[in-house]
Structure 1
Amino acid sequence: MAANGVNGHKISRPLKPGIYAPIPTFFKPDSEDLDLPTTSAHIARCAKCGIAPLVGGSMGEAHHMSHAERIEVIKAARKALDDIGLHTMPVIAGTGAGSTRETIQVTQEAAEAGADYAIVITSGYFAGALANNRPALKAFFKDVSESSPIPVMIYNFPAAAGGIDLDSDIITEMGLECPNICGVKLTCGNVGKYTRIADAVVQPNFTPRKNPDAPFLVLGGFVDFLVPTTFANGHGTITGLANLAPNTIAKLWELSCAALKDISLLQEALRVQGIAARADFTIAKTAIPGMKFLIEKEYGYGGLARKPLASLTDAEKKAIWEHPHTQDLLRLEHELSGKSKA
């Protein structure tokens, strides 16, 4: 059985099309120390629904954690999956940092801790100097991917990268030139960009990946366009909404793929897509504090983000919980999980 990357993993954990959840990092309320038992339990909850974890990403408040804390979370994620028998489900780890040097260091540390894949955001602190410097942007991902013992995914999230928005040409070029890059997460919400990259990936000239377990996946950063991008050769999404409604988002992916083969299922796929899209649009406005609040309201755990992120006010909590988009999503989630109220 092939090892994943060259970091000594003895179990093949392929990177497959589907749904991934950027896992929140949960903290103890009084100290803001890591709450690893809660984080692990949440990872297991999502994984049992077929949702693989991405730890140490934006939702995971990676930039609020030390290197050592990131490693603890990666190790906890791997153990959480192994403890429920999901030995072949991969762990993706966010390894972005300010400099190329530190990003490489964090990526290597993540691999040693058991991460199967890394996802790296563009360094945005000096966005004014980098945004229009295509050679420098490409060199960043080239250097990181070539130095990484595990495949690396590009994370395009302009709002968290000083406004740097990688276009479809540069992402495709990096895919062609860097065989250890295993995909892209598009949290820019640009459907045209998504379809252009997804088309490029299936062309005969697209460079084979260094690791056969790691094809180049084109993934959304929101779930509100999952159906149309599935029909455009897309590979799924990494969506925060899967933390709150894993059964619903898993069902949406199932329906999207099934509709490709049986068009009669498209209307049901679009019905579920509409519910998810409205909830994604509304809940995303409350960011990490809102997601943690909703998880706590629904599942009994969640807590606060690390400061300086502020918790929601009581009025904001009431508004997001009672919002029709939230309640429609939870109603469907309860139905799919068998917890519908009589």
Structure 2
Amino acid sequence: MGEAIHLSHNERVKLIHAARKALDGAGFTHVPIIAGTGAGSTRETIELTEEAAGAGADYAIVIASGYFAGVLAGNKAALKTFWVEVSEKSPIPVMIYNFPGASGGIDLDSDLISELATDCPNICGVKLTCGNVGKLTRIADAVSSPAFASTYPRKNAAAPFLVLGGFIDFLVPSGFASGHGAITGLANVAPHAIVHLFTLTEAAKKDLSILPEAQRIQGIIARGDYTIAKASIAGTKYLLEKLYGYGGAPRKPLPPIDPGAAQTLWEHPHAQDLIKLERELSGKTKA
């Protein structure tokens, strides 16, 4: 839920251990764990990545530190060096996490990300929470050709370079631009709806008669995603608690959602449309 930054090293390790144990115990040994390991310095990021790998993480997702964003944002060489050094030292494949809102406004452009894709064989993709579909299109075009895979093979052949959105509200257009999917917090709230949309998108790429239905579902999910995102992490965790019995409040200093705002979020037509869709797809129609 985006709160890795609030955890100590020890807490992160414990959570990764627990997640791996729970997945394996439930028969989901094939499900990978992508651990957030971005920190304030290159050294600490590498340490966190090594610890995550030792705890059972399969991949690391790394965001740039925003503390000195005023220095880093305009220094392409420094930003590139950061991901080069982290990926070279990491025992597991590394994904770039481009999220200007959580990194002091640092926003990697498609040129730099494409360079990292070609120059760093242990980088396995990018999550674009900048929401820039044009950027996604350019990167996906660069890495989707057979020539890219043969010319720039990955260190881990099972970890090809994936171009992923950070929100689910543009999954259909990104899919038609050769994007590979999305890593989205909304999947915690509406997992069946998200899977359904992805399945429709992939099918529509082969049969355009399916596209109108994919677009209809995308509309429901995009409106729900936007409405819930405006309530921030606290709003998402409130919905998790109300729908599934877990979630709780975010860790301080983030405040819990105000009761009035929580009620407004729950009753919002866009949230209710999404919840209705999720219940229909999951077979759980409880009001």
What's the TM-score, normalizing by structure 1?
A: 0.82
Aligned counterparts of 1:141 and 1:220: Cα–Cα separation in 2: 19
Shift of residue 123, structure 1, vs aligned partner? 1.5
Match of 1:292? 237
Gaps of 5+ in 2: none
Match of 1:320? 265
1:289-337 deviation per Cα after TM superposition (whole angstroms, max 9, x unaligned)? 1111011111122211111100111110011000001000000001001
1:238-273 deviation per Cα after TM superposition (whole angstroms, max 9, x unaligned)? 001100000000000000001111111111111110
User: 2:272 matched to 1:330?
Assistant: no
Query: Which SS does the other structure have where 2:124 is aligned?
Result: strand
Q: How does 1:233-272 map to 2 (within 5 A)?
A: 233-272=178-217
1:20-61 deviation per Cα after TM superposition (whole angstroms, max 9, x unaligned)? xxxx3xxxxxxxxxxxxxxxxxxxxxxxxxxxxxxxxxx2x1
Aligned counterparts of 2:13 and 2:214: Cα–Cα separation in 1: 38
Match of 1:148? 90
Aligned counterparts of 1:341 and 1:184: Cα–Cα separation in 2: 38
Q: What amino acid does structure 1 have at the position aligned with 2:156? A: N
Gaps of 5+ in 1: 1-23, 25-58
RMSD value over aligned CA atoms? 1.0
Aligned counterparts of 1:318 and 1:136: Cα–Cα separation in 2: 45
User: 2:129 matched to 1:187?
Assistant: yes
1:170-229 deviation per Cα after TM superposition (whole angstroms, max 9, x unaligned)? 000011100100000000000000000000002324511110010000000000010111
Aligned counterparts of 2:158 and 2:66: Cα–Cα separation in 1: 30
Query: Which SS does the other structure have where 2:231 is aligned?
Result: helix
- Please point out which of 290, 307, 314 is paired with 2:252: 307
Percentage identity across paired residues of the two chains = 67
User: 2:167 matched to 1:222?
Assistant: yes
Shift of residue 124, structure 1, vs aligned partner? 1.2
Q: How does 1:76-155 map to 2 (within 5 A)?
A: 76-155=18-97
Q: What amino acid does structure 1 have at the position aligned with 2:104? A: G
Q: What amino acid does structure 2 have at the position aligned with 1:211? A: N
Aligned counterparts of 1:287 and 1:273: Cα–Cα separation in 2: 21
Aligned counterparts of 1:341 and 1:115: Cα–Cα separation in 2: 36
Aligned counterparts of 2:144 and 2:240: Cα–Cα separation in 1: 38
User: 2:171 matched to 1:171?
Assistant: no
Shift of residue 340, structure 1, vs aligned partner? 2.2
Shift of residue 122, structure 1, vs aligned partner? 1.0
Match of 1:339? 284
Query: Which SS does the other structure have where 2:205 is aligned?
Result: helix
Aligned counterparts of 1:186 and 1:176: Cα–Cα separation in 2: 18
Shift of residue 341, structure 1, vs aligned partner? 4.8
Match of 1:18? none
Match of 2:220? 275
Q: How many residues align?
A: 284
Aligned counterparts of 1:225 and 1:164: Cα–Cα separation in 2: 22
Aligned counterparts of 2:153 and 2:218: Cα–Cα separation in 1: 33
User: 2:100 matched to 1:158?
Assistant: yes
Shift of residue 78, structure 1, vs aligned partner? 0.6
What's the TM-score, normalizing by structure 2?
A: 0.97
Q: What amino acid does structure 1 have at the position aligned with 2:239? A: L
Higher relative contact order (CA 8 A, sep 6+): 1
Q: What amino acid does structure 2 have at the position aligned with 1:319? A: T
Query: Which SS does the other structure have where 1:144 is aligned?
Result: helix
Query: Which SS does the other structure have where 1:261 is aligned?
Result: coil
Query: Which SS does the other structure have where 2:239 is aligned?
Result: helix
1:80-134 deviation per Cα after TM superposition (whole angstroms, max 9, x unaligned)? 1111101111111000000000000000000000000000001211001111111
Match of 1:44? none
